A and B are shown apart, each in its own frame.
Chain A
Amino acid sequence: MAEVEIKIAKLEAEGLSTGKPVTLWRTAWRRLFRRKSAILGMIILGLLVLVAIFADVLAPYDPYQVLIGVEDVRMRQDPCIHLLGCPEDQPQHLMGTDGNVRDMFSRLLFGARLSLMIGFTTVSFAIVIGTVLGALSGYLGGWVDIVIMRVMDVLLAFPSLLLAIAIVTILGPGIENALLAIGIVSIPAYARVTRASVLTVKQMEFVDASRSLGGGTAYILFGRILPNSLTPLIVQGTLGIATAILDAAALSFLGLGAQPPTPEWGTMLSAERNQVFTAPHLVFYPGLAIMLTVLSFNLLGDGMRDALDPRLAQKGE
């Protein structure tokens, strides 16, 4: 036994493969970590997740607390940072105070929670429905395929933001309805991606094998084909979170999404938009926060697309 182990160690030292299977996921991880932009995306996202989890601890103030009478601060006060020379006797507000004299920095930190929540819920909703529709469409073919894909074509025919606006106008403004609307308009993208990969995978031999062993339709589709068509969905999902966050911010900006006083970045921006010439920091920071969040998902999604691309894997990149 020991001899075998020594042999393996020797072989490994010589750089020879000992037959340990190299999975797609392992190579993909390795390639993902080799891309600087993907790492940057992961770092930003990691920080955001930490901020979202520890917002209670990190935030110096309650995001809803109006500071009139509590401290000597004015409405829309410029940022006061002690390290940068702001007098010590003044209360520190890293990003100033907003139009209702609340601490901007604390509100921004709590906004991370909502923003990530928005991204993940809408995309999960759209992925679940889109995947089922796309999988049925690709696997069953025939009239099921025609009906589902025509409906998706119609949804895609609308500029997505406009359709979302129309849906929320009907359903009534509010964060839940905004999330539902964004979820609905992003279903077609996932349905199309799933359908395309199911069409390829269902031709493969292991599917025939499964069927000849007596597997039922539902088992073959959801137990065998879908797990093998996941890669494009993961990429699409990551990039989709970026779009969902942007669209949700846009709806909030139009007054259709999260309602004040919720510390949501789009809503915060919308509330202070007329103050851009007098208190630009109140507009600048929420927008920057949205941008960084969206950027992190975009960088990560792009990196994953390259890392999971089998054509690149064969080139040994």
Chain B
Amino acid sequence: MFTYILRRVLSSIPVLVGILFVTFALARMIPGDPCRAILGEKATDAVCDEFIHRHGLDKPIPVQFGIYLSEISHGDFGDSIRYGKPVTELMIERLPTTLELTIAAMTFSIIIGIPMGIISAVRHNSVVDVVTMLVANTGVSMPVFWLGLMLAYIFALVLKDTPFQLPPSGRLSPGLSPAPFVEVWGWEITSKGLVNAFEFLSNMNIVNAVLTGRMDVLLDALKHILLPAIAVGTIPLALIARMTRSSMLDVLGQDYVRTARAKGLPRSRVVLKHALRNALLPLVTIIGLSLGSFLGGAVLTETIFGLSGVGRILFDAISARDYGIVQSFTVVIAIFFVFINLLVDISYIYLDPRVRLE
């Protein structure tokens, strides 16, 4: 079991180095002079010389890569000229919004997708099955930003003044500005790392509301996140539903399922206990892998719903050609993505006893 974990951890190291190398190489491919690409066209020669020297851009490429690695391992992503602060600080501000949206979307797609898939598999070829698969196929084919815009239109305008009206933008209603839980609890923290970590946590409104016990804020935050979460979650939902269905169909045809039925167990128990547990294995992998789709969706959807997360900052950085921000956020998200998939692999130890014997 430990060799299994060790092997997985070790095998993700070359991938991590590869990710860092790709983003490093991309930054070096910026056409023209790197200093003016990062500092802007108006940077003077003196400023540029100083900048190039400070970041080691006058050194050989392998040395530059070394400098880049050591900077990133210290959590130093440089400064953003546009925002006038370190990129790390921007991440603490922006990542929580995106993460919160991603988790909400994931919850939505799992809660709806898995039962949809189970029902389709159990009632194979019935009307329910056909309709579910049609909905799933349409779901995978929708552009996420279009779905977001249409949802905003329907729930904010068409359903206006009905109980189903939902806010189309923002994270909280105006006027609500909850204090971070660290302040509420009266903690005094001096360690810089802890301050950042707690700030990151309290920037997730839902987590902060739960920790500070503000029910009104929690409800308001949930209401605001619903539309974007549905928009982001629909494509993965369709994938999850399809995957659950085919995986369940596979398992339901197995001998042990027939045996379980033959010895007189109720159908619901056979489906939910014997079959589902085994069908879940490939699903966990799919959910881990579709995290990329969630994150991509969040990036596209945030601008529509007026959320200032990673998507918003990337959108602005792209228009302003702020390569540093695009590069740093790509690295962080890719590393996060590798980490989650590593966790998925390791979770197999609990999900699949056969892995333990490997």
Does A161 contact B299, Cβ atoms closer than 8 Å? yes
Does B137 contact A291, Cβ atoms closer than 8 Å? no
CB distance from A53 to the nearest CB of B (A): 23
**Complex Cα spacing A302 to B246, Å:** 12
CB distance from B298 to the nearest CB of A (A): 10
Of all chain A residues, which has the CB nearest B29?
A: A170
Does B141 contact A150, Cβ atoms closer than 8 Å? no
Partner of A255, one of B143, B144, B304, B319: B319
- Total count of chain B residues near the partner, CB < 8 A: 51
- Total count of chain A residues near the partner, CB < 8 A: 47
B338 at the interface (CB under 8 A from A): yes
Scan residues 233-267 of chain A and give those whose CB is less than 8 A from a CB of chain B: 242, 246, 249-250, 253-256, 266
Contacts of A150 in B (CB 8 A): 14-15, 18
A15 at the interface (CB under 8 A from B): no
Scan residues 62-98 of chain B and give those whose CB is less than 8 A from a CB of chain A: none
B252 at the interface (CB under 8 A from A): no
Partner of A253, one of B145, B150, B152, B338: B145
- Binding stretch for chain A, among B175-183, B198-206, B211-219, B329-337: B329-337
- Binding stretch for chain A, among B19-27, B222-230, B263-271: B19-27
Most A CB contacts (10 A, CB to CB) among B26, B27, B140, B152 go to: B140
B116 at the interface (CB under 8 A from A): no
Does B321 contact A169, Cβ atoms closer than 8 Å? yes
DSSP majority for the B interface?
Answer: helix
Scan residues 119-149 of chain B and give those whose CB is less than 8 A from a CB of chain A: 133, 137-138, 140-147, 149
Does A287 contact B150, Cβ atoms closer than 8 Å? yes
Interface string of A286-308 (1 = CB under 8 A from B): 11001110110011001000000
**Complex Cα spacing A27 to B137, Å:** 25
Most B CB contacts (10 A, CB to CB) among A159, A166, A249, A290 go to: A159
Partner of A165, one of B18, B142, B293, B318: B318
**Complex Cα spacing A172 to B330, Å:** 17
Contacts of B31 in A (CB 8 A): 172
Does A291 contact B296, Cβ atoms closer than 8 Å? no
CB distance from B274 to the nearest CB of A (A): 24
Of all chain B residues, which has the CB nearest A242?
A: B141
Interface string of B252-283 (1 = CB under 8 A from A): 00000000000000000000000000000000
Interface string of A156-189 (1 = CB under 8 A from B): 0111111101110111110000000000000000
Does A162 contact B150, Cβ atoms closer than 8 Å? no
Of all chain A residues, which has the CB nearest B158?
A: A280
Does A287 contact B330, Cβ atoms closer than 8 Å? no
Mark B residues whose CB is within 8 Å of A: 14-15, 18-19, 21-23, 26-27, 29-31, 133, 137-138, 140-147, 149-150, 152-153, 156-157, 291-293, 295-296, 299-300, 304, 314-315, 317-319, 321, 323, 326-327, 330, 333-334, 337-338
A selection of 16 A-B contacts at a CB cut-off of 8 Å is: A150-B14, A151-B18, A154-B15, A157-B18, A158-B333, A159-B295, A161-B299, A161-B300, A163-B334, A169-B326, A170-B29, A250-B143, A254-B318, A255-B319, A292-B141, A295-B137
Contacts A159-B334, A283-B153, A292-B141 known; list 19 others, CB within 8 Å: A151-B18, A153-B14, A161-B292, A162-B299, A162-B330, A169-B317, A169-B321, A173-B318, A250-B143, A253-B143, A276-B150, A287-B143, A287-B147, A287-B149, A290-B143, A291-B146, A294-B140, A294-B143, A298-B137
Mark A residues whose CB is within 8 Å of B: 37, 150-151, 153-155, 157-163, 165-167, 169-173, 242, 246, 249-250, 253-256, 266, 269, 273, 276-277, 280, 283-284, 286-287, 290-292, 294-295, 298-299, 302
